[in-house]
Structure 1
Amino acid sequence: MKKQELIHLHGLLAQVQDHYEEQTGNTVDHDEYTALGVQPTSIHKSKTDHKDAVFALAHGITSEIESKKTERVSAAAD
């Protein structure tokens, strides 16, 4: 994946995080992501930095979603 594509993916994941937090009221734990100090607008950072940020952000989002899973409701009608 090219650096420009990683930056784009990074920006999309940041929007997914914002949308998830707005819709659910839950806060995604992004300490690992924040510690990296790489934002989607940090175009001067290296490709590896953005790759690490994408993985950290994706991990934070998926961990939050998995921790909030509820029991599935049967689709069958009564």
Structure 2
Amino acid sequence: MLLVHIKKYYESTTGEVIPTDQYDALHISPVHIHKNKVSHKKAILTLGKEIVQHIRTHHNPYIEYHADFQSEQIATEH
């Protein structure tokens, strides 16, 4: 469920859509509790791979730190 939330958050903040064709083809979601552990593991790894591939393809692979908020540092990807 965490990766699904990460995907939705990323899409809402960037306006980009992460294509998840391989994940969607598995026809399994976090709420499918009747599916076995192996199927869920494959779905998690597939979704994670598609999210990372999208970010690597569309953004530079480095992280820059900004101290925009008082004493907090926030990691941002460019």
With the shorter chain as reference, the TM-score category is: 0.7 to 0.9
- Ranges in structure 1 where 5+ consecutive residues have no aligned partner: 1-10
Moved >6 Å (runs of 4+): none
More strand by share: 2
Equivalent residue number for residue 67 of structure 1: 57
| Larger RCO (CA within 8 A; separation ≥ 6) | 1
Choose between structure 1 and 2: higher helix proportion. Answer: 1
Normalised to the residue count of structure 1, the TM-score between the two structures is: 0.75
Matched, 1:33 2:23: yes
How many residue pairs were aligned?
A: 64
Q: Structure 2 regions of 5+ residues with no counterpart?
A: 66-78
TM-score, scaled relative to structure 2 = 0.75
Give the share of equivalent positions with the same residue, in percent. Answer: 33
Q: Any idea what the Cα deviations from partners look like across 1:11-65, whole Å, max 9, x if unmatched?
A: 0000000000101111111000000000010010010110010011001100110
1:1-78 aligned within 5 A: 11-70=1-60
Equivalent AA in structure 1 for residue 40 of structure 2: H
